[in-house]
Amino acid sequence: MVDTLVEQEICSSGLESEELEELPREFLETKKSLKNNRIQKGIEATKEHYHVIQKFVILGHLDEEVCVDVLKAYISLLVKEKQEDQQKINVIDWLVFDPAQRAEALKESSAIIRKFLASKKHDATKMVFARWRSSALPSEEESAIHEHLCIHVYLIR
Q: Name the residue ranges covered by the structural domains of the chain.
A: 1-47, 79-157
Looking at residue 12, what DSSP letter applies?
H
- Mean pLDDT for 58-69 is 83
Q: 42 falls in which pLDDT band (50, 70, 90)?
A: confident
Query: What is the pLDDT, as a whole number, of residue 19?
Result: 66
Name which of 34-48, 99-113, 123-137, 140-154 the model is least confident about.
34-48
Name which of 24-28, 51-55, 94-98 the model is least confident about.
24-28
Query: What is the pLDDT, as a whole number, of residue 131?
Result: 82
Quick one: what percent of the chain has pLDDT higher than 90? 11
* Chain segment 72-100, per-residue pLDDT in tens: 888 898 899 999 999 999 988 888 888 88
Query: What is the pLDDT, as a whole number, of residue 107?
Result: 87
pTM of the predicted structure, to 2 decimals:
0.58
Query: What is the pLDDT, as a whole number, of residue 3?
Result: 66
**Residue 112 region, left (φ>0) first, then alpha (ψ -120 to 50), else beta?**
alpha
Query: What is the pLDDT, as a whole number, of residue 48?
Result: 72
Q: Cα 33 from chain centroid?
A: 23
